[in-house]
Structure 1
């Protein structure tokens, strides 16, 4: 998780707060970001396409991937676009008639076009209930965030940014612990001892000349059984996943500008610049020498 978030240039973005009472409903469009919303007080409903309405209460947290959603006092209330309300708010707080229900939100944005690597590995909507078996750390972090929000002091902006990042990662941990077996992608694969072990090996030594047979032996499986399990859980064969992650890392290193193409190729496990260039173009869509990153 740390490896992926760092490579994708993950950073905490604007924190928001919604205080509402009576009948209200706000809808928000699809965005390539990972967002959390936590209910500090009261009750509300979450509406996401393809899923039944979900009632939420104080202490509940949910994570949203690349999806549109509506948050509302009742499922039958007609929704209005909530984006302009927060765009126009200099204080990052929106008031809708009272404070019976209070929600705080925040999220993680990404520095480049590789956000799909993480977003595709997560469900579009993840609910972590306060009483969930693995939610204790989420609840503790939420309490700290609530206290800082209610009684800000010197450095509150920095503290809340870090707490937002911690809350998001703790929420993912809790979701994987309680629902990992149900999830596709590498997030779900982490919950399995064998595929999770293989992923840790790959990410721990990205330049190693891994083979499917070596990975299978290291996690205690036959080659064919391991390849089938990894492909089913992660969504890609082991070496295809390795190439995809190597090129994702390579693009990030090239964007940072501290290494030349030869250095990046060696960093991700290629002794041949030509082979690296072919793999990079196949995955990323253009030559590694094309300077598309910001300086």
Structure 2
């Protein structure tokens, strides 16, 4: 499993919030939900994105924007249109994002247009697909931190039928539909991230560029596919067909750190995500990522993240509901 594939594994592939927005001009929506990641695709019409660190950008049909939280951003028919709707984070006791006017008047019910559709007109001249990932993960953080706060991929920069497929599926209400939509959104995200990193510009992360290196690429794939194996540099060099010195030197030059340091970071990122799963114990996580004992994992984990695996787990796994007691 390479780092991009890691986005599709386990908890990071579940729980995304997905919505079609259908509106007519003038319109302006300010998003302040502080979500780790949002994906916005234009299906019809055009929209202007204003986000931190970038000037207004026009998006047309087939264009996709990736927005890294927690910074807010605005979509509008024109940068000059005043904000009309504010999307805030979920409030206690109220599932879903909070939608209101600028002065705080609730809008969620009045702008609901049907199954996963929201706006002012079901046949609006502007239609957007909005996918919001509310659950941040360590593997995802390693990847998304390499992106700027706002990424815009125009239709001319990549080819993908997934926007159209997601638009067709989003308002269906059939058994298993949430899973179908999660998978489609994940595929669209992976395609967009891969297209961005594959541009000729030199700002792709080192680990992504390294996958095309004839020496480092095979070594990275081995580390990703078998993180629990008791790797040594000599073993890795033998499997890739080069000398130990050549692999160590080339890996550090291309990736920016030695092979075993990279492996440690990858193992701990995987462990951090595994520990978000209620059924995965610290002992099981240690075994699956290559630590002989939970104590060894705990020591390395605390050095990297500043908390123990148990503390990390308590912070990210909800406590089980209390068992109802019989009424006397």
For the aligned pair, the TM-score class normalised by the smaller chain equals 0.7 to 0.9
- Which of 125, 149, 168 does residue 147 from structure 1 map onto? 168
Query: What is the match of residue 73 of structure 1?
Result: 77
* 2:7–2:140 CA contact under 8 A, matched in 1: no
Aligned mates of 1:271, 1:287 — CA distance in 2: 17
How far is 1:189 from its partner?
4.9
Aligned mates of 2:299, 2:263 — CA distance in 1: 15
- Which of 9, 12, 21 does residue 9 from structure 1 map onto? 12
Query: What is the match of residue 125 of structure 1?
Result: 150
- Alignment deviations for residues 115-153 of structure 1 (CA, whole Å, 9 cap, x no partner): 533431333222222122xx32x2x11122223347x46
* 1:38–1:62 CA contact under 8 A, matched in 2: yes
Evaluate the alpha carbon distance shift between residue 282 and residue 180 of structure 1 in structure 2; reply closer, same or farther with a 3 A threshold. farther
- Range 187-196 or range 198-207, more displaced: 187-196
Aligned mates of 2:190, 2:199 — CA distance in 1: 14
* 1:10–1:109 CA contact under 8 A, matched in 2: no
- SS of the equivalent of 2:9 reads helix
Query: What is the match of residue 227 of structure 1?
Result: 252
Query: What is the match of residue 88 of structure 1?
Result: 108
Where in structure 1 are there 5+ consecutive unaligned residues?
none
User: Which structure has greater helix proportion?
Assistant: 1
Evaluate the alpha carbon distance shift between residue 202 and residue 63 of structure 1 in structure 2; reply closer, same or farther with a 3 A threshold. same
Where in structure 2 are there 5+ consecutive unaligned residues?
88-97, 101-106, 321-328
- SS of the equivalent of 2:17 reads strand
* 1:37–1:63 CA contact under 8 A, matched in 2: yes
Evaluate the alpha carbon distance shift between residue 131 and residue 193 of structure 1 in structure 2; reply closer, same or farther with a 3 A threshold. farther
User: Once superposed, what is the RMSD of the aligned Cα atoms?
Assistant: 3.3
Q: Which has the larger radius of gyration?
A: 2
Q: TM-score, normalised to structure 1's length? A: 0.79
- Alignment deviations for residues 231-284 of structure 1 (CA, whole Å, 9 cap, x no partner): 1xxxx5543332222123223444435455444333322235543321122123
* 2:138–2:269 CA contact under 8 A, matched in 1: no
* 2:15–2:134 CA contact under 8 A, matched in 1: yes
- SS of the equivalent of 1:266 reads helix
Query: What is the match of residue 193 of structure 2?
Result: 172
- SS of the equivalent of 2:291 reads coil
